[in-house]
Copies of this chain bind each other. A is one copy, B any other.
């Protein structure tokens, strides 16, 4: 027994649709239908249009900070497609617009959110997803809690929780994966590895060759996929979701993609990105290969491309108009959503809009009435 093997494991890598649009037919079998791919590609166009429009809104001062999702479309949509809409539960971080929209989030909500309005995070009851998260990594545990509740209630729902490569360094994502595994909770951890965490590259974030291999730390399956390949992303998530649904616990899926944009509109990636990297990544843009694939199958052409973009532009213009029409938030809401029932002092703060005590409640607290009131 002396020097033996305590553990042996490996992490597969999956690519089905290569950058030139060639499909591995045998791996693709039973994954996405032609109609699926077409539909998902239309979603990509819609999202790309949304992304660019939001960028422009920010630049013209109509939106606060905005994090573009450019490049993430396949990684998000492949996962979203693998979920049962309205049944499985999506836990986004802040860069999953494509998945959120796919699951039905009204598109102007995201504009409201980044426009500094909580109502953009008031996810409608029929949309099976949690609010966006700004504090990196915290959402993984909420996802596990959700999955645990599903298990507790014997519902066959599965959670897909997203996070970035940077998030893997947080204690919370570690604790989430550990809990998920211990509880055998029905959850899939979907790590979007876009090569950067703001300005920090992978080799400053981890000493490991892949993020997927972190699954081994938790005794759960892990898989790395080409995150620009909608087939691979879909298949890996579908298998992981079905495995979780069967009661076999979580999987970690790493989707390798690239952030073809600055971190947010407040960032300037030219300060830190090596020359040529962006250009190389642009060639791997998931939209390019998805379109190539569709064209090869004669499912797409320039005409459809043009029409879809036009439709996307119209849709996004509508969405922006819808966002513009939203009445400004009521400043009473600063108070009203702090608790189910407001304590008396908070009611005073709300109704008088100040915190200093004089005049807060003259009779009751035995002070002289405040001068302005006396003048009435």
Contacts and interface: CB of A to CB of B under 8 A. Distances in A.
A242 interface: no
Given A9-B10, A175-B171, A217 B214 contact: yes
Contacts of A170: 171, 175
B7 A212 contact: yes
Nearest to A180: B207
Contacts of A14: 2-3
A367 interface: no
Given A2-B16, A9-B10, A15-B2, A178 B169 contact: yes
Interface stretch (A55-63, A218-226, A258-266): A218-226
Contacts of A13: 1, 3-6
Q: What copy number does this chain have within its complex?
A: 2
A338 interface: no
A288 interface: no
A121 interface: no
Nearest to A235: B3
A314 interface: no
Interface in A26-50: 27
Given A2-B27, A171-B170, A171-B175, A216 B213 contact: yes
Interface centre among A13, A171, A217, by most B CB within 10 Å? A217
A295 to B, nearest CB: 21
Given A15-B1, A182-B204, A6 B224 contact: yes
A200 to B, nearest CB: 10
A213 B207 CA distance: 15
Interface in A174-215: 174-175, 178, 181-182, 184, 203-210, 212-214
A11 B6 CA distance: 5
10 contacts: A2-B24, A4-B12, A6-B212, A6-B224, A7-B209, A7-B210, A8-B11, A9-B213, A208-B217, A214-B217
Would you list the 9 A-B pairs with minimal beta carbon distance, nearest first?
Answer: A171-B171, A181-B207, A208-B219, A174-B174, A217-B217, A6-B13, A207-B219, A7-B11, A214-B217
